[in-house]
Structure 1
Amino acid sequence: MKIIAILSVLAAATLVSAGKYHFTQPDHPDILPNAYIIEYYDGVTRANAHANLKKHAIDFKIRNEYGIFNGAAITVKSSHSGSALAGVPGIKNVWPVQLFSPPPVQSAKSNGNSTHSANMNVHHMTGVDAVHKKLKLTGKGVKVGVIDSGIDYKHPAFAAPGATEGCFARYGKNCRVKHGWDFVGDNYHLEGTPVPDSDPMDCMGHGTHVAGIIGGDARNIKTGPKPLLPWVGVAPEVTFGAYRIFGCEGRTGTDIILAAMELAFNDGMDIINMSLYGGPAYKNNPMAVLGEKLIAHGMNIAACAGNDGGDGVWMVADVALGDSATSVASFDNAYAAVYTLTYAGQKYPYSPSLAWGNNRFIDLPATAVLYPVLDKTGVLHDGCKAGDYTGHDVKGKVVLLFGDLASCGSVVRGNIAKSLGAAGVLTVSTPFGMTLLAGVDALPMASLENRGGEAILAAYKKNPRNVIGWSKVVSTVMIEGGGAPADMSSYGVDGDLRSKPDIGAPGGNIYSTFPRAKGSYALQSGTSMSTPYYVGSQALLYQHTKSKPSGPDVRRIFKNTATISKHWGSKTFTSAAKQGAGLINVWNALTTSAHVSPDHIDLLDSVNLRKTQQITIKNVGKKSESFSLSHVPADALNSYSKNNTFPHSRPIIEADYATVAFSANKVKIAAGKSAKVTLTFTEPKNGDAKQFPLYSGYVVATPSTEGSPSIHVPYIGLKGDVRQVPIMDTDLGFPLLMVTQANGTVIDVPNNDFNFNFKTAAPTVIVRYGSHTPDGSIRVYSAATKHFLGYIFTPWWGAAFGETGRNKNKDANGLFDARQYDWRGQVFETAQSTTPVQLGPGLYNLVAANQKKFTKGAYPADYEVFDLGNIMITA
């Protein structure tokens, strides 16, 4: 009876505890209006939660109910906001339903030409080829769930072993896709109602490509389109679950993603692949929360680190920020099957824009000659301004431009060139590789490697009459940057200085399956491709060990044994904030005789430096082994070298190296036993603490037995006080106070005496975050009394407070990415308020305030504070 009484008291306390509303992230702002994900406190039933919502006069419709997550997705039909939901007893967390777009697709169509086998099979980079050949592992008996656009399960590459044709009925005899569900239907575009059914056929393409990387097998295909070469995925005998969350085009919501995660678990999937793209954030997002629960129940989860490498640090994506999930970075394939052009007798690869179309080479007449757009000093313009073309006649010509996307996007430069009558656009990538361009309709547009672009420019200067020739078939070439961390792969760390991404895998220029209706095979790039490579590798480990190790254990094994890598052409090792523990080495992972934990070390910043750490080395071999301890420093990343408040899009590489002292430089460990080694870190002597360089490296334990793989642990730290890292981009004048007119146009405030009107001239606050903040707020005060009145509230963004990730540099249109609050006078009086209050005419003071990292949140001492001045509201 005492226990029951105690539990009753705890349950009562839980029911009156205030929940928390988590706002959208600046880099991932799109939400489904009036739709929310709510998580209940432990012990709160669905019936209790529904009753409490109704008691608070909240009119709602259930979108999805969850079990393991203990919550629901709802559409609110009354005027209540997410913050109002968080105030309902029994509700622990509330998130808006955020929208995820599938990543862009670019394909290389099979055309029967000869090509190099290395392009079709990146397994030589990772040791998977040796695992297939020597250990005969195929992933047999392992179930892998693919949460994506579905799978073309009739593709012959997904046939059962020994079958020469694909399955002709869902989950049939010859089919390795044994489980699945379509949550949305072909025509789902968010505005409509999902039309679910049991058929997860892929009509978009992304999911089929992902599944092929995990476990496609095109070595014995007898019917249908043939691959360029006999080709095989990482684990060609896995059993698939296909969980379709996208229609044939368009986006999906986090409510559907959560439902797919739970069904994959209930279907018995051992691992789920989530090649989805979120924005930079803290780990308190619903997918990460559910992911941690599923991992605790025995399922492993891997997700993308993101493709925002061109935006600098703090950009790692939120899907895999859970403590036990794996965030996977991308490495470029050393080879690529690409279309090429010839110029001055030399052949150069190019990457056509997405707008130009899949499976489509550029074919322009010889009269469309090359025309570099040069300034007076002979340097290429980037073509981001019409003025770059002053004095240049480009009509009917293929313009050559400097391709730095930090200045503007490909859409902007494409539209300018098109308006001037250019026949096509070639951009010279920087610093290397080929950039995937969005491009514009009806304009041939492509990127060139940096070295190729420079060579073409040099040849033009020698002879401007050279003619471009365009190939009609793909060729295999060794590409610039191949075998190294991909330029597009996102940098960490997250807002708490946690080490993400975890590990890297091949993701650049990866050949895999594609829906039969779209050509059957395709070449794609991204962390969407590296993630399934890691997932397939886990399946091989499961089969090898004849067990299902926990998510943290699997991740540790692969991180311990990864290959620490360098940037292309570099002599130093790439930062752990870019590559995690390094490029996955599956042979080492499956043959290692030792483990080391933890699998990463977060040193934090200078003020909170975790100077002393302890690692545990375990000998899982059959004989005693001696290990020598050493330290491998990696590149430091300086993102604030000019006292800038928004991080550099390309961090400056510095030789700011920490030092590590070991309690023992060598340890001998008996079979089956462990040894602990204490590490003492000293921050780099080089590097300006006022510029907040991220330094990193690897602690390595090398066994004495020749041929045994070394094991290592990555670490990351920030030199300086993270509380002083700039949050708001003041370099560009943010935060800004502007005016939104009745027609929606945003203009500058006309004068200091301007009177605002909530209906026709609404005050508008625009903010731009350069790094994460635990609380990004916009506050309203009485100008006369200085009394705090509340936080700005808008129907789109909600109330302006709470955890916030950083913005990208530019949006898809080449404009500076920022968040805009069109204020119509509503405020939340406190962070615990449940409904907004409407303010009337008066004189108000607006303040933007961002909590500094690693502070307790005392206002104003722990905040960046920006007084936007007083505004007069007349009506």
Structure 2
Amino acid sequence: MNLPRHRSLGVIAALGIVAAALAAPTTATAGPTGLTELAPLYDAPVADSGLVAETAGRWFVELEGEPTAAGGSSLAVRNQHAAFRSSAKANGVKLTERRAFTSLFNGFSVDADSSQIATVRALNGVKAVYPMVSVAIPENQQASIPDLATALAMTGADVAQNELGLTGAGIKVAVMDTGIDLDHPDLGGPGFPSSRVVTGWDFVGDAYDEGSPDAAARVPHPDAVPDDCQGHGTHVAGIIGADGEVTGVAPGVTFGAYRVFGCEGSTSADIMIAAMERALADGMDVLNMSIGSAFTWPNYPTATASDRLVDEGMVVVASFGNSGANGLWSGGAPGMGEKVIGVASADNTHSPANKAVLSTGSDLPWTLLSTVEAPPTSGTTDPMVPVGFGCAEAGDPITVDLTGKAALISRGTPNPSVSCSFDTKYRQAVEAGASAVFIHNNVPGLFSGGGVVDRGAPGVGISLASGNEIKAAIAAGAEVSATWTDETTVVVSPTGGKISSFSSIGLSPDLTLKPDITAPGGNINSTYPLEKGAHAVLSGTSMAAPHVAGAVAILLEAHPGLAADEVRDVLQNSADTITYSTSAFPELVSKQGAGMVDVDGSVLAGAALTPGKLSLGEGYGGTRAVTVTNTTDAEQTFAFAHKAALSTFGSTFAPSLSSYAAAATFSVPSLTLAPGASGSVDVTVTLPADVTDEDHFVYGGFVVATSSDGTAYSVPYAGYGADYQAIEPIGFSNLGTVTACADFIGLDCVSDTSSWETFEEDGASFSLQTVDGLPDVPYFLVNFDHQVEDYEIVLYSARTGKPFNKVFNKVFQTDEGVARNSGDNAFTPFAFGGTVTKSTGGTIVTKTVPDGDYYVVATALKAGGDASNPDHVVGWTSPVFTIDRP
């Protein structure tokens, strides 16, 4: 197949030599003596056969002056905007302005090819340029069990309502999302504005989808009615404050609905900032954003705009992200913001399930293998036949004819080194003739199996207990079948109260402790558009953030004098530590933050510990001061203790868990404080002596202060127990995850359907014209295994071996931080359009490069690195290429 392609030079191949330094431990004894592997942190996903280009054609341009919310004058900001527009035009910059921002962010969002960014970055008055991300609506999983009570009981929100009489009354909560169903009776409908949804705005319209290939769909059509046709925002609002068939955390709040999504698809980060500015103008007290962009830095514009909202008195709560399967450092903005409450997810204590009935008489709870067509609501299956793991690739193929039978398959594989997807098991069973496919779990409880292509047979997941019961009955000589019903049921979740597998993992790339706190987000029932069933069960950190937003409303009602920048500390002090799996050992701090939010505990707290978290940075521990304030009306003695938490070691994409932990000592064993008095304790954290830089050790724990009345308050801490710059940020850290090739060299495993064509040898020629609808320009493809501080690409003359010009040489430059890619099969392409730029005293000059032979040198400054230290800089030199215009 000969398709038009982008042609590219494979940066990622040349930098693949860093792989060995980041390889994950493969045995339980890897690392120092005590650094034994409890388990892999997760089952590392296997990449598909194609590569993913993660790039931006849209950008934020930040100007040097402060926005008005940070003290800038409106006149000064207007003048800076005018100067930028004039300078861009005078210097021939090819960009299209999308939006202008003045309040929370001073600058613009623009459409421009990456070849223009070096010029934009050099314009007078430009402070920074950031790629603008597209943010997708999280997938919705529906069920019909209208009960939020189990989630409220996990956090004490039910106690706050029923015993303390708190509902969030008088607090205005902004919901930036897909809108709110304005007719839903649980949310004050019908009508807008109503007694509950009192204000809002639709920024986009129903047809908008930022990720659509149809240009018309990418054009927003705003209007004044923020009604929800998708469902996500209605669900989020219900968790915050539904009052009807379901009850939210704070049923007395009023809402502002700020719609930034259409009926499907994605939105852009600039629309999010526009909605933030509107929420500020509308006087909202709390903003919930159950959306975000993974792998970013805390200086990303949506995060810094959120920080400015906090400075203006609004509490900002945001989901930390659903990228846990993508490894460490996977949290996203705006939850990454310095002053934002970034929220992780824990599973609900109970899970919804559909119900079938076995011929043995037992109920059979099941969940659908999406996106398989749902089973019927009546009728009986063919007899079930156990077929083992049902995976030929792992050495356990289906060897029986399943015609007229239903397959019962075990989850997992007999060979841990070989992955076998749900789709593979389902497909092989259907190919063997199965009329239905049942996959039972290999650990207690139900599961949700994704990525399955429908092949005409029902496919469901069932629990380990149900699978064992079926197999035992068949072994005893019984013929077992299942009868479908239209009923649903609730089952106890074996992972209830534990961190959800999808929840993103910190730390922040600047080594700030993130996420901040956890709330129930797995299997949460809440409101849903009436035309879609009125109620639904969804999962995600999208569901955890609104639980915390509701908790904030309760806290602000109880303590109206609490400042916006104090709220997070209060919530963190009273949070409850989450343990790992079935053990009593605390879960990673970089997954749970301070722990599960404790709503009534925060309201009734008799002490304040500041700061609410300790970010210890890189190195082998450190000393920090914690101030304790007695907020009761009686003298209290606070005794100090240390609670160690799990750590990780190994690579970003395949880390392992360990109970090897830090230790802590205190400058004083306790503090006795009069009412209203404060005192400080120095906390010194030390790491085991045999931890080395090669272990890539991420550790954490808790400083616990227990008062005379028996109440425990805590402060989480975390750090990177090594030289942070020992992480190699560019290249492939786990080559074996790319299943399309035995060896991954360059982009050689790109399929014929790809739009990328690569070469590794000198001599490729580019016309810089459009050929078959695609630009015939060189692209430089980079896989960022880890975030980097700065990145630049400099053009060299192949004839002289020197930069093209002493001052005209930049193809691309950014010093605002670059996000890491999502995985080993993802990359960021940078284009060279045939021009270079220079800046002298604020004057920009763009120079066209003449035809000839060139190469580029790309360099990156490692996260937290010092540009003057050569060990902190990584680089790559491209093959020679030719510019040959017609």
Please state which band the TM-score falls in when normalised by the shorter chain.
0.7 to 0.9
Q: Is the 8 A contact 2:150 2:350 kept in 1?
A: no
Question: Is residue 535 from structure 1 mapped to residue 546 from structure 2 by the alignment?
Answer: no
What does 1:544-583 correspond to in 2, within 5 Å?
544-547=558-561, 549-583=562-596
Q: 1:311 deviation in Å?
A: 2.0
CA contact (8 A) 2:653 2:734 kept: no
Partner residue in 2 for 1:130: 159
> Shift in Å at residue 570 of structure 1?
2.0
Distance 1:744 1:213, change over 3 A: closer
Aligned to 1:45: 77
Cα RMSD over matched residues? Answer: 3.8
Task: Describe the SS at the equivalent of 1:690.
Answer: helix
User: What is the DSSP-based 3-state SS (H/G/I as helix, E as strand, rest coil) of the residue aligned with 1:496?
Assistant: coil
Q: Which amino acid aligns with 1:570?
A: S
CA distance in 1, matches of 2:306, 2:328: 24
Does 1:168 find its partner at 2:185?
A: no
d(CA) in 2 for partners of 1:799 and 1:595? Answer: 44
Deviation at 1:141, TM superposition (A): 0.4
- Gaps of at least 5 residues in structure 2 are 1-50, 67-71, 736-742
124 and 484 in structure 1: CA distance in 2 versus 1, 3 angstrom threshold: same
SS in 1 for 2:333: coil
Which residue does 2:525 correspond to in 1? 511
SS in 2 for 1:653: strand
The partner residue of 1:187 within 207, 221, 230 is: 207
Output aligned runs, 1:244-263, within 5 Å.
244-263=259-278
Aligned counterpart, 2:624: 613
Distance 1:572 1:790, change over 3 A: farther
Please give the secondary structure, in 2, of the residue aligned with 1:56: helix
Residue pair 1:32, 1:253 contacting (<8 A) in 2 also:
no
1:280 aligns to 2:291 (yes or no): no
Q: Deviation string for 1:668-705 (max 9, x for gaps)?
A: 00000101001112112464541112111000000121
- CA distance in 1 between counterparts of 2:336 and 2:530 reads 35
- Show the 5 A alignment for 1:292-441: 292-341=307-356, 345=360, 346-356=362-372, 366-368=380-382, 370=384, 374=388, 379=389, 381=391, 397-398=406-407, 400=409, 402=411, 407=419, 423=435, 425-427=437-439, 434-435=447-448, 437-441=450-454
CA distance in 2, matches of 1:872, 1:572: 59
Q: Which residue of 2 aligns with 1:238?
A: 253
Any idea what SS the aligned residue of 1:632 has?
strand
Change (3 A) 1:91 1:373: farther
User: What SS does the corresponding residue of 1:611 show, helix, strand or coil?
Assistant: strand
The residue aligned with 2:649 is: 638
User: Structure 2 CA distance, aligned partners of 1:437 and 1:389?
Assistant: 21
* CA distance in structure 2 between the aligned counterparts of 1:528 and 1:720, rounded to whole angstroms: 33
Distance 1:89 1:849, change over 3 A: closer
Give the Å deviation of 1:454.
Answer: 6.4
- 2:588 is the alignment partner of 1:588: no
User: Is residue 698 of structure 2 the alignment partner of residue 694 of structure 1?
Assistant: yes
SS in 2 for 1:628: strand
- The letter of the residue matching 1:671 is P
Q: Is the 8 A contact 1:740 1:764 kept in 2?
A: no
**Alpha-carbon distance, 1:55 to partner:** 3.8
Counterpart residue type for residue 270 of structure 2: D
Residue 571 of structure 1 deviates from its aligned partner by 2.6
Distance 1:79 1:557 in 2: 44
* Structure 1 partner of 2:724: 722
Please tell me the residue identity of whatever aligns with 2:709.
Answer: T
Does the 8 A contact of 2:173 with 2:285 survive in 1? yes
Which one has more relative contact order, counting CA pairs under 8 Å at least 6 apart? 2
CA distance in 1, matches of 2:803, 2:473: 66
Contact 1:208 1:513 in 2 (8 A): yes
Answer yes or no: is the 8 Å Cα contact 2:87–2:123 preserved in 1.
no
Q: Contact 2:621/2:719 (CA < 8 Å) preserved in 1?
A: no
Compared with structure 1, are the counterparts of its residues 448 and 869 closer, same or farther at alpha carbon in structure 2 (3 Å cutoff)? farther
Task: Output the CA distance in 2 between the equivalents of 1:202 and 1:283.
Answer: 30
Q: Is the 8 A contact 1:667 1:675 kept in 2?
A: yes
Q: Secondary structure at the match of 1:512?
A: strand
Query: How far apart, in 1, do the equivalents of 2:119 and 2:467 lie?
Result: 56
Change (3 A) 1:76 1:691: closer
Pick aligned residue for 2:786 from 765, 771, 774: 771
- 1:528 alignment partner AA: S
Structure 1 residues 472-483: aligned runs within 5 Å: 472-483=486-497
Q: 1:456 to 1:275 in 2, by over 3 A?
A: farther
> What's the secondary structure of 1:504's corresponding residue?
strand
- Counterpart of 2:867 in structure 1 is 857
Please tell me whether the aligned partners of residues 84 and 833 of structure 1 are also in contact (alpha carbons under 8 angstroms): no
Distance 1:79 1:308 in 2: 26
Q: Distance in 2 between matches of 1:610 and 1:318?
A: 27
Q: What's the CA shift for 1:539?
A: 0.4
Matching residue of 1:208: 234
Whether 1:99 and 2:134 are equivalent positions in the alignment is yes
Question: Distance in 1 between the 2:52 and 2:749 partners?
Answer: 24
How far did 1:60 drift?
6.2
Offset at residue 48 of structure 1 (A):
3.8
2:653 match: 647
Alpha-carbon contact 2:52-2:827 (below 8 Å) kept: no
Return the alpha-carbon distance in structure 1 between the equivalents of residues 474 and 454 of structure 2.
28
Match of 2:614 in 1: 601
Aligned partner (choices 511, 532, 535) of residue 497 of structure 1: 511
- Counting matched residue pairs gives 794
Contact 2:296 2:818 in 1 (8 A): yes
Deviation by residue 1:724-766 (Cα, 9 ceiling, x = unmatched)? 11322254288836699999644553x8566444568865543
Q: Which moved more, 1:820-829 or 1:289-298?
A: 820-829
Residue 817 in structure 1 maps to residue 821 in structure 2: no
Counterparts of 1:497 and 1:318, CA distance in 2:
15
CA–CA distance in structure 2, aligned partners of residues 239 and 531 of structure 1: 17
**How high is the TM-score relative to the length of structure 2?**
0.81
Of the structure 1 ranges 493-502 and 565-574, higher mean CA displacement relative to structure 2 is found in 565-574
Q: Any gaps of 5 or more consecutive residues in structure 1?
A: 1-26, 160-166, 219-226, 641-645, 811-815
Establish whether residue 670 from structure 1 lines up as the match of residue 692 from structure 2: no
Q: Which residue of 2 aligns with 1:15?
A: none
Asked if the contact 1:355–1:438 (Cα under 8 Å) also holds between the matched residues in 2, the reply is yes
Q: Distance in 2 between matches of 1:631 and 1:865?
A: 43
Q: Given the superposition, is the C-alpha separation of residues 49 and 765 from structure 1 closer, same or farther in structure 2, using an over 3 Å criterion? A: closer
What is the aligned partner in structure 2 of residue 144 from structure 1?
Answer: 173
Partners of 1:37 and 1:94 within 8 A in 2 = yes
Quickly say closer, same or farther: Cα 1:107–1:855, change in 2 above 3 A. Answer: same
Paired residue secondary structure (1:263)? helix
The answer to whether the 8 A contact 1:271-1:535 is kept is yes
Report the Cα distance in structure 1 between the residues aligned to 2:437 and 2:691, rounded to whole angstroms: 41
For the pair 1:525 / 2:542, whether they are aligned, the reply is no
